[in-house]
Structure 1
Amino acid sequence: MMQVIFDNTKNGELKVLIDCLDDLWVLYNILQPEDQIKGRTIRRVVKREGDPGIRKPMTLTITVEKVEFHEFTNRLRVLGAIIDGPEDYVSTGQHHTFNLEPTSKITIFKEKWYRNDIQRIRRNLDKKENSMILCVAIESGLANLALLSNYSLTPITEVKENIPGKRYKKQAHKEYLTRFYENVKQVINENLERHPIGLIIVCGPGYFKEHFIEEFGDQLKLGNQIIQSRALNASSGEISSIYEVLRNGAIANHKVDFKIAQDEMIMNEFVEHLGKDQGTAMYGIEQSQLCAQMGAVEHLLICDVLLRTADSTLRTQIESTLNDTEKNRGEVHILSTANPAGEQLESYGKIAAILRYKVDL
């Protein structure tokens, strides 16, 4: 969990110790161009032209120009111009990139700290890092694998095998099926070594999902730890089946604190309200703001990209909408555009609301 080391946000300053991937994602959505960050970093120093230079640790302060979230390497890259550092090694205006990761300690300086930015850091203090889910959609001779995190759905690969029917030769059918399963198992184990996977979901039609778990469930392990696996019904072995079990709430039933599954469910709820045409769903900043001012918003959905890219005028408008929602006991949901629910919300103006009662604007 993130640690707040020094809090003087009234005067624009906050110092934190980063602990996990969740912390990096929170900072990714909070850091804005023109903010400043200060911390220990490594910079290549070249004394004479033509020298390869040496990497030296130093404390630098930069003005933020760009922020990049590299989820699968547990890293947040913050690019900007140096405004303070050791004069022997750097000059003001030179560019530098901070590679922030768990155990990094930084001080953030903002012209203005929005209330909701501070609240999101506070809420994250007691939050534990959530492990990832590996999803396998499988049917006869076809499997698609994807990695689910709190913020994204990332397809990994497709595995295909031409399996002859049982009438062809029973032994041949079994050999081809075993080879197919082995290839799927190999991809799974490669990803278990690379990523903090806590659960494997095997979905698809018929008996293939259960059969695969029966055959290889005790072989899917990281070190001595056997990773839990669950079978879920889905329509096929295509990648679309992974979206299917994510959207229908089946994954959320097995991992209730999994953010990407919660985002899918709340986005589905919004679409259902919109489809009923009963005036209990609104989208767009103006409509959402008016409903929040009236105290009508039960759930406010907002894309992370909107928080990151809004200019000061729009950000003030968004902040007012967030505050009005929470003041009237509504819930705010920030959806990542790296997952299907966030992508869908983008098409509704990047902000939407589920209302407690009908509102006619």
Structure 2
Amino acid sequence: MKLIAHDEKLRTLKLKIESEDDLWILNSVLKEGDLVYARTSRELKTRSGSKRKGMVLGVKVEWWEYQPFTTRLRVHGIIISGPKELDLEGQRHTLGIDIGSTITIFREDGWSENDFKRIIDACNRVSIPVLIITLDDEEYCIGIIKGYGIQVISEEYLRLPGKLDAEARARAMENALNKILNQIIGLISRLKINIIIVAGPGFIKEYLYDMLKKDSRLSNIKLFMENTSWGGVKGIREVIKRGALIEALKAHDIVVEEKLLDEFMYYLSKDSRYVAYGLENVENAIKARAVKKLMIISDLVRHPNEELRKKIEEL
């Protein structure tokens, strides 16, 4: 994300959206009542029919929607600004915010310290997509770790012949690994990946790791191999929690969140006196100056109840 401009009172931000992570951040900081200005298109009726025309519109936000792993944030509201000759004010419109969009957001009561920090962090973060392949003798999964979560690219059962038919099993495995390799090559050039993690139980992951290591097209890629108990998506989640790979994944929020949740669950099971959860209990812990780490889900930060939202921001 790029912060192009802001006013002195920190009420207006002009932003350039540069990645899917930026859309996720924007989704988490938007509030009902924000004024959002962006280039869009709208279908206009004419005597001869209708046509779609490009224009810049401003809407007062009523609701917004972001589906993970799509490349568009939909922001719906009442039009408060647009071409005067079209007389669109008061009508409803949905802005489509994409990667590459430039938007301006005005917030009457100003941007909170927490929301503005999230914007600045997004501007400063260099988040490189990490490709993970987990496989065993039953299934494989190819996923991309991004700032907001795991995007599953491909998941499939291998359906290898039984171990009694060793020759047929070896041929089927070679075909499957070559298929996975070709998918990886395509993803690397398209998504600008430079880190690959191969994981799983058993020896099949080692075969794939060796194939990747020997392929000249991957000479600039950093390769990691990790043992896990599972293939599939379960295996990817297991990889994320592994301390040995924190260096490869440290730029991604999902890794930090998983580690914090693991730490919370550990203390909860060991001695619940070390943790507090629920708004009232957390408030009491803060008043007692007994809080070392505080986790707040994003839904509470942008809760429609203004009184609750302010209480959360004060924490």
TM bracket (short chain): 0.7 to 0.9
* Counterpart secondary structure, 2:40: strand
Instruction: Give 1:86 shift.
Output: 1.1
Is residue 214 from structure 1 mapped to residue 213 from structure 2 by the alignment? Answer: no
State the alpha-carbon separation in 1 of the partners of residues 300 and 259 from structure 2.
Answer: 21
Instruction: Give 1:212 shift.
Output: 0.9
Instruction: Give 1:316 shift.
Output: 0.4
Contact 1:2 1:23 in 2 (8 A): no
Which residue identity does 2:30 align to in structure 1?
L
State the alpha-carbon separation in 2 of the partners of residues 225 and 95 from structure 1.
Answer: 52
State the alpha-carbon separation in 1 of the partners of residues 219 and 102 from structure 2.
Answer: 32
Matches within 5 A, 1:168-187: 168-169=165-166, 171-187=167-183
Name the CA shift for 1:43/1:218 in 2 (closer, same or farther; >3 Å).
Answer: farther
Contact 2:141 2:231 in 1 (8 A): yes
Matches within 5 A, 1:91-110: 91-110=88-107
Structure 1 partner of 2:31 = 32
Matches within 5 A, 1:1-361: 1-9=1-9, 12-48=11-47, 51-56=49-54, 58-112=55-109, 113-128=111-126, 130-155=127-152, 156-165=154-163, 168-169=165-166, 171-192=167-188, 194-219=190-215, 226-321=220-315
Instruction: Give 1:16 shift.
Output: 2.7
Name the CA shift for 1:304/1:220 in 2 (closer, same or farther; >3 Å).
Answer: farther
Name the CA shift for 1:189/1:161 in 2 (closer, same or farther; >3 Å).
Answer: farther
Range with bigger deviation, 190-199 or 287-296: 190-199
Which residue identity does 1:267 align to in structure 2?
L
Which residue identity does 1:15 align to in structure 2?
K
Structure 2 partner of 1:330 = none
Range with bigger deviation, 310-319 or 276-285: 276-285
After TM superposition, the score normalised by the length of structure 2 is: 0.88
* Counterpart secondary structure, 1:309: coil
Contact 2:132 2:144 in 1 (8 A): yes
Contact 1:220 1:227 in 2 (8 A): no
Which residue identity does 1:199 align to in structure 2?
I
State the alpha-carbon separation in 1 of the partners of residues 271 and 17 from structure 2.
Answer: 44
Structure 2 partner of 1:343 = none
* Counterpart secondary structure, 2:310: helix
* Counterpart secondary structure, 1:301: coil
Q: What is the percent sequence identity of the aligned residues?
A: 29
Name the CA shift for 1:216/1:103 in 2 (closer, same or farther; >3 Å).
Answer: closer
Instruction: Give 1:320 shift.
Output: 0.5
State the alpha-carbon separation in 1 of the partners of residues 68 and 219 from structure 2.
Answer: 24
Instruction: Give 1:31 shift.
Output: 0.8
* Counterpart secondary structure, 2:31: coil
Name the CA shift for 1:14/1:53 in 2 (closer, same or farther; >3 Å).
Answer: same
Contact 2:128 2:251 in 1 (8 A): no
State the alpha-carbon separation in 1 of the partners of residues 174 and 87 from structure 2.
Answer: 60
Instruction: Give 1:28 shift.
Output: 1.4
Instruction: Give 1:78 shift.
Output: 1.3
State the alpha-carbon separation in 2 of the partners of residues 18 and 312 from structure 1.
Answer: 28
- Structure 1, unaligned stretches of length 5 or more? 322-361
Range with bigger deviation, 276-285 or 235-244: 235-244
Which residue identity does 2:156 align to in structure 1?
E
Name the CA shift for 1:196/1:285 in 2 (closer, same or farther; >3 Å).
Answer: farther
- Structure 2, unaligned stretches of length 5 or more? none
Which residue identity does 1:54 align to in structure 2?
R
List 4+ stretches of structure 1 deviating above 6 A.
none
State the alpha-carbon separation in 2 of the partners of residues 256 and 29 from structure 1.
Answer: 21
State the alpha-carbon separation in 1 of the partners of residues 233 and 103 from structure 2.
Answer: 40
Contact 2:125 2:251 in 1 (8 A): no
State the alpha-carbon separation in 1 of the partners of residues 269 and 261 from structure 2.
Answer: 12
RMSD value, Cα: 2.5
Name the CA shift for 1:51/1:235 in 2 (closer, same or farther; >3 Å).
Answer: same
